[in-house]
Amino acid sequence: MLNQNQTPLIDALKASISRPHAPFYTPGHKRGAGISPILTDLFGKDVFRADLTELAELDNLFTPESAILTAQELAAAAFGAEKTWFLVNGSTCGIEAAILATCGMNDKIILPRNVHSSVISGLILSGAIPIFIHPEYDEDLDIAHSITPEDLNTTLAKHPDAKAVLIVYPTYYGVCGDLSAIAQITHQYHIPLIVDEAHGAHFAFHADLPTSALAAGADLTIQSIHKTLGAMTQASMLHIQGNRINIDRLNKALQLVQSTSPSFILLASLDAARQQMAINGQKLMSQTLQLAEGARNEISQIPGLSVLEISPTFKKGGVFDLDQTRLTVNVVQLGLTGFAAEDILNEMGVTPEFSSLQNLTFIISLGNNQSDIDALVQGLKKLAQIPQLTSQYKICKYRNDAKIAHILCISPREAFFANSETLPLEKTVDRVCAEIVCPYPPGIPVLMPGEIITKSALEYLLQIQSLGGFISGCMDNKIHNLKVIKT
């Protein structure tokens, strides 16, 4: 029986730090002795003593036998997996590895269109062919949700040769689809269900949160432990269960996309975050949910604002559950875009996770306290009291990405490696895109390599930019020009 009080990686790192020796190995700063004083003034000296390489006593990430292996076994037990891998290159590398482990060149993989850009990277690396399903879209709230079990069933019937299904659960807005039904349908075709659960690492630790992906039947799930729990930025985990994933192929895929010099500070933060949640997770999540409920109740009473809710009596395939620790506030009745509202709140000392044309989204986690909630509520009250907002900001009719036709004419991999040219934006309509183009956050591509560039997609991107959004992934983030396939 595993003891969740243990912290094997933390203990190994402490022992290594305290071992007196002359270091003739990487990194070059030699346990902090060579670090610039600029950094030690900012961070202190102790953290750099822990910045060690894969020494014998610290284990090896790709072939773990001691501290890392035990830490991963403890994590698997805590999160409900059969086997867990620690990731130091973020959930991005986990998603890429999951696609590489399940799909080869020209294999089909079924995806929602609102995937993260890391999924597109996985398609380019693997050569897999995406079969997209449009998620359900709420035009009033300007929010894309999940795909429905019915749409998945129809798509699999048309493409029974697909090698895997990948879905986003929860979405950036905290919305969860009917994952149990999606898993059952996927498994009827004897293929694995991969879940991008980057924003759901906390689900396993409280009954009032949505069902975790593993509990709902996922075969492989990737979680950004740093996004909602207590790990350091970039520290993530990949979990599997069942026999639909080839472990040897997954191991090889992870070696392709992870650093051979993993940060033991990041690995130790995963060990600590797991121990924290395994021992105190329910208590911490109860406190977090209580903070979120208080914020939700107060914000809902502010004139001109509304908070995304899902009625317990109204559940459908694309909107089956909601993470109550994720607050999405619609500001359209104030005559504001979400982008403008974010700028105003930043000046008040309140910073949301991200903004979109109509909404602001706030993550409430175990690191927040009542003073944070008070600042959020007071900031939104002041926002709602600013006079004549409608005359200051004009909101154009938003053509949501879910409404844009996405026509893939060649695979993302083929387009990525094809000869390309750069053209002025107005000359790229009906050409084949050669780069990823997406507003960030949340990093959902509007155009990807291999897709036809449509007029509606360009109008949407220009609109996002004109209203204060940021376009990323492409060579020219001002989008005066785009890369297209040479004809």
User: When comparing pLDDT for 142 and 106, which is higher?
Assistant: 106
- Would 22 be classed as within a structural domain? no
User: When comparing pLDDT for 167 and 389, which is higher?
Assistant: 167
Residue 400 has a pLDDT of 46
How far apart (Å, rounded) are the C-alpha atoms in residues 229 and 201?
Answer: 7
How far apart (Å, rounded) are the C-alpha atoms in residues 192 and 217?
Answer: 10
Residue 402 has a pLDDT of 46
The answer to whether residues 192 and 139 touch, using CB atoms and an 8 Å cutoff, is no
178-183-188-193 Cα dihedral, nearest 10 degrees: 140
Helix axes 8-18, 264-300, angle to 10 degrees: 130
Residue 397 has a pLDDT of 40
Residues 295 and 353 in one domain: yes
pLDDT bucket at 2, cuts 50 / 70 / 90:
confident
pLDDT of 155 > 80? The answer is yes
- Would 465 be classed as within a structural domain? yes
Q: Tell me which of 392, 411, 446 is where a domain ends.
A: 392
pLDDT bucket at 465, cuts 50 / 70 / 90:
confident
Residues 313 and 380 in one domain: yes
- Would 317 be classed as within a structural domain? yes
Range 9-18 average pLDDT: 96
Residues 290 and 372 in one domain: yes
Residue 372 has a pLDDT of 98
Residue 391 has a pLDDT of 37
- Would 156 be classed as within a structural domain? no
Residues 381 and 300 in one domain: yes
Tell me, what amino acid is at 407?
I
- Would 239 be classed as within a structural domain? no
Residues 350 and 437 in one domain: no
Reduced to 3 states, what is the DSSP secondary structure of residue 238? strand
How far apart (Å, rounded) are the C-alpha atoms in residues 374 and 244?
Answer: 47
pLDDT of 197 > 80? The answer is yes
The answer to whether residues 75 and 38 touch, using CB atoms and an 8 Å cutoff, is no
Residues 362 and 438 in one domain: no
Residue 396 has a pLDDT of 40
User: When comparing pLDDT for 325 and 387, which is higher?
Assistant: 325
Q: Tell me which of 392, 427, 451 is where a domain ends.
A: 392
How far apart (Å, rounded) are the C-alpha atoms in residues 176 and 487?
Answer: 42
Element counts in the chain: helices (H) and strands (E): 17, 19
Residue 138 has a pLDDT of 82
Residues 421 and 327 in one domain: no
| Domains contained in the chain, number | 2
Residues 303 and 385 in one domain: yes
Residues 290 and 336 in one domain: yes
Q: Tell me which of 374, 392, 410 is where a domain ends.
A: 392
Token pair for residue 300?
């809902």
Instruction: List, in order, residues 6 or more apart from 224 with CB less than 8 Å away.
Output: 90, 91, 198, 199, 201, 236
Residue 393 has a pLDDT of 42
Question: Could you tell me the CATH number of the domain that includes residue 317?
Answer: 3.90.1150.10
- Would 240 be classed as within a structural domain? no
Range 238-255 average pLDDT: 98
Look at 119-128, 279-288, 309-318 and tell me which has the smallest mean pLDDT.
Answer: 309-318
Residue 479's domain comprises: 401-485
How far apart (Å, rounded) are the C-alpha atoms in residues 321 and 310?
Answer: 7
Residue 312 has a pLDDT of 67
Range 74-102 average pLDDT: 98
How many whole angstroms from its chain centre is CA 213? Answer: 14
Q: Give percent above pLDDT 70 in the chain.
A: 94
Residues 366 and 421 in one domain: no
Token pair for residue 408?
């893939």
- Would 348 be classed as within a structural domain? yes
Residue 365 has a pLDDT of 98
Burial class of 293 by CB neighbour count within 10 A (0 to 12, 13 to 18, 19+)? middle
Q: Calculate the alpha carbon distances from 299 to 322, 381, 384 in Å.
A: 17, 8, 11
The answer to whether residues 91 and 443 touch, using CB atoms and an 8 Å cutoff, is no
Per-residue pLDDT tens for 32-87? 999 999 999 999 999 999 999 999 999 999 999 999 999 999 999 999 999 999 99
Alpha helices in 261-358 (DSSP H): 264-300, 338-347
Per-residue pLDDT tens for 350-407? 999 999 888 999 999 999 999 999 999 999 999 999 875 543 444 444 434 445 678 8
Given CA atoms 101, 116, 459, 418 in this order, what sign does their dihedral have? negative
Range 419-448 average pLDDT: 88
Burial class of 69 by CB neighbour count within 10 A (0 to 12, 13 to 18, 19+)? middle
CB atoms within 10 A of CB 296: 18
Residue 261 has a pLDDT of 95
Q: Which of 84, 4, 90, 477 is nearest to 263 (CA)?
A: 90
Range 338-355 average pLDDT: 94
How many whole angstroms from its chain centre is CA 431? Answer: 30
Residues 465 and 424 in one domain: yes
Residue 287 has a pLDDT of 98
Reduced to 3 states, what is the DSSP secondary structure of residue 28? coil
Residue 403 has a pLDDT of 56
How far apart (Å, rounded) are the C-alpha atoms in residues 401 and 444?
Answer: 9
Question: Could you tell me the CATH number of the domain that includes residue 419?
Answer: 3.90.100.10
Residues 431 and 448 in one domain: yes
Instruction: List, in order, residues 6 or more apart from 36 with CB less than 8 Å away.
Output: none
29-33-36-42 Cα dihedral, nearest 10 degrees: 110
Range 330-336 average pLDDT: 90
Range 410-429 average pLDDT: 96
- Would 236 be classed as within a structural domain? no
Residue 240 has a pLDDT of 98
Residue 11 has a pLDDT of 97
